[in-house]
Structure 1
């Protein structure tokens, strides 16, 4: 049975985001948000406002001072998501101080599901560097660098007791693995509410060197928009950091209709895999994209013709961009929906990228607006129809892909 035929719906009650554009839901960027890393490469790092919020959160609890930046970004995005849906309790000050407030969800049957490609990147590298110099590490090294500590600290900060805290890693589709798990649990009645999303803080010299070694990094400097998805050659991959977390609830379609309430709905989640010998490559026709999109559409009970826009994975690599577009034509035909992207604003945030793309899709659904890139590309052109249903793609190393379908429903 498809989701469309069922009374049960997954409602996106709140969303929070931290990225190179700062905090909140504004997707406009009058100037390039990219900066130059000490390694000499352009990156999409957090601006001062967001850095201040991360610093304040680190000082909000004695245990938080030792946490990796990836964990703190997830916690901050979760607090923003809670604040946005007004489900918080125990707040002692204004929304502007969400990093230091006691923002918590009603914890009854609340679960947490967070994706990250690399987890505690910064702390792991710090501990390893110290070990190479001193031959020993502190006892905290292992618990602070396991992937599971990402979701567990978000759960702790949210006041969760007695429910699941799940961390996922499938490279750049990690956040959609987390959302897919949350949707399954909600539909099965194993939780009533989820905090789900993705997070990544990979802007270290070592991680940048890895991306550069693959041969995909952008040759452009930070000022002139160095990440250019859909623009062709040269490859313009740029690394970014950030997180996005969503408050998901199991709801009733009939109840929404009876109340005349419009809501953002997560209609379908689909996954794809192609077993290639190269773990950094993909097939020319994007077979894993095709599988993921078709499965998400089927689960949503939605025909390709009902999709008004697609938020692409499109990282700015010529081969990756081209394969996704071949896959789109295989699913949608030659008349493609509106193609959208946010990576020209945020760079590629690895395990957080799918969640940030979903946040962008929800912004489009709610406002019917999106920013236009200042370079020649096939993304973010003008739309001719209202955008009511959006498909979002993500893919990663290892041959995996994931897609979600979201809509504004009642």
Structure 2
């Protein structure tokens, strides 16, 4: 996969992060141009000739490496290696977009680290949506050889590069870790939302629900993109078959509208995230012949769309639990209550408990981050976007959403099959989860 600072997608970040793709570097021209300009700059330049934060007006010569050492102080558990690898790919792509002023000789070394499987020991806590300073400072110390890489193949020399003092802030002035998490979450959520349509189709079949609500003429009357996509997919799966009732419950009748709104929220999130994956979010931005001090590092756009996306997952999951409840009813399935193998049995009743537990977790994770802020560094930095937390929570949404859909899938499959005696359903749920995420 060639990185050129312009075309990186959420799906490609996922492929690199999970080792199904390696990276090559396109043109270094923009990175070289910014680096050349940086060498000619005179006067105060934030982070190069001055301190940072509240120290912005203090002249500092050659203190960049101390900046790395002071900022590599995260806390909590180590993040999974896949997320760290995704961060390296995102930062490499951003640097290729130009504007940082970092020594371009560093970029091939980053590519080698990604391809060889080296990842830095990044901790969970340490960013508030104004730059992943802790994660990237830790990475820089690994490149300098002052800190050991967390992962890497045996017998392969660790990637090192002699970063100069002036490279310190330009390298860490980025939200690459947050963007990587957001990209991974969006890619995997797209797969789950696609699979949810297949699961809903099983429930439609198991309950004899009508395909009339997703008819083309109905959908053309209200042309929201996600709704149209969802309805078309479900039409294809169901065919043109009449239902047995005048109107089905909302879990069936309003599926395209509710699920489609979630699909639209995901599409908007992907658009915003992929914009930032390919942007020079540098402060200062080295462009033309000047250093432009700016706020492009701020994560407000990413935080807002991820808040919306996490909120949109909740109604989609709620409809799944509504269909699950319908599957428990003999009047809709023609089976005993709870799809039990015998009258009076509990059948799959426990699935409702499991699904509602997971749904409660989704509601908790949907709490918006954009309603909060922070004032730090003696008031010099007086707002924070908290996109880091929004992306972290988006990743955490994957498991409960997957469990909700798996519970519906188990019940719908049971309703379409032969009666089964009461038995533990843990293995059924896990099998259904694997089916949801299968390539």
Q: Tell me the TM-score normalised to structure 1 length.
A: 0.25
Of structures 1 and 2, the larger Rg is shown by: 2
When normalised by structure 2's length, the TM-score is: 0.24
The structure showing larger relative contact order (alpha-carbon pairs under 8 Å, at least 6 residues apart) is: 1
Higher strand residue share: 1
